[in-house]
Amino acid sequence: MKTVLAMQLLSVLPVYAAVANWDISNVTADEILDEVERVSSTVDFEIYECEGQEYVPEEMLEEAKNEPNLLKAQVVLKLAENLPVGGDMGLTYKLTDDAHHVANRLIFSEHLEDETTLQQDVEALTGASTDEYFKCKKRLGGINPILFVLMLEGNSKVVTLAILAAAATGVMEITSAEFDRVMGAYLEQQERDNLVISLIKYNTGVNPLAPQVAHLKELIIK
């Protein structure tokens, strides 16, 4: 489980660091693993179902040995100090129904549709019951819900839903500076992860998601 969570965290590190207010230029492998340990040891339910003993995938370890100066490689090498080397991680772990339930309630996903605008999402969330949110948040033992969902999903897009949900339902106050820090990291990560967005930014000088983010800020920062 720690191998999976560590890789998930690394995949969304820019946004995770922005939410956690870390200095991303100085993040170490030990800090990544400490954060994984903190989350995995605090939640009061199982995050993953495992078909066998936890391990570090052999291919991942070989890649780490070839580029030991990379942060991801350093994390993998440290994991391998205490875990056996095995096969395909993807075939061994899957999220529990409980983890799915908690993640979905934390971002109010039952109120959101795939093909909607940010304004429609805000309207859908306005007045949504926060009972389930606070029940799930309590089960996290004080862990920041947005950080939890980021680590669980390994997808920076969920931070947009989390911010929408937190602001529209009134469960969290977000300052203009916090919004700029987190969503700025989100835009940067989308440019790195999405070739189409990267090409549009290269040709126009503007991230195509920037207008949506600016509109979102107008809607939720009062």
Q: Which two tokens stand for residue 32?
A: 């990544």
Instruction: Assess whether 64 and 112 both reside in one domain.
Output: no
CB 49 within 8 Å of CB 93: yes
Range of the structural domain that residue 144 is part of: 99-220
Residue 114 clears pLDDT 80, i.e. is over it: no
Q: Are residues 214 and 106 in the same domain?
A: yes
Residues in a beta bridge with 94: 49
Residues 129 and 174 in one domain: yes
Taking CA atoms, 195 is separated from 25, 160, 198, 220, in Å, by: 24, 20, 5, 29
Phi-psi region of 108 (alpha: psi -120 to 50; beta: other; left: phi over 0): left
Q: What is the pLDDT of residue 70?
A: 94
**Integer Cα distance of 23 and 181 in angstroms:** 12
**Residues 107, 215: one domain?**
yes
Residues 81 and 139 in one domain: no
Residues 34 and 47 in one domain: yes
- pTM for this predicted structure: 0.85
User: pLDDT for 31-58, tens place per residue?
Assistant: 999 999 998 888 888 888 877 778 888 8
Tokens of 159: 């931070």
- Provide mean pLDDT across the span 209-217: 88
Indicate the DSSP class of residue 172.
S
Which of these three, 95, 124, 151, is where a domain ends?
Answer: 95
Q: What is the pLDDT of residues 145-191, one digit of tens each?
A: 989 999 988 888 888 888 888 888 888 888 899 889 988 999 998 89
Same domain, yes or no: 209 and 132 = yes
Q: For residues 91 and 175, state if they share a domain.
A: no
Which class for 22: exposed (0-12), middle (13-18), buried (19 or more C-beta within 10 A)? middle
**What's the CA gap between 103 and 79, in Å, rounded?**
26
Q: Are residues 80 and 105 in the same domain?
A: no
CA 155 to each of CA 30, 83, 210: distance values in angstroms, whole numbers, following the listed order = 22, 26, 18
Distance CA 6, CA 69 (A): 17
The residue written with tokens 């391990």 in the block is: 55
Nearest-angstrom CA–CA distance, 93 and 220: 37
Last residue of a domain, one of 95, 124, 149: 95
- What integer pLDDT is reported at residue 91 of this predicted model? 59
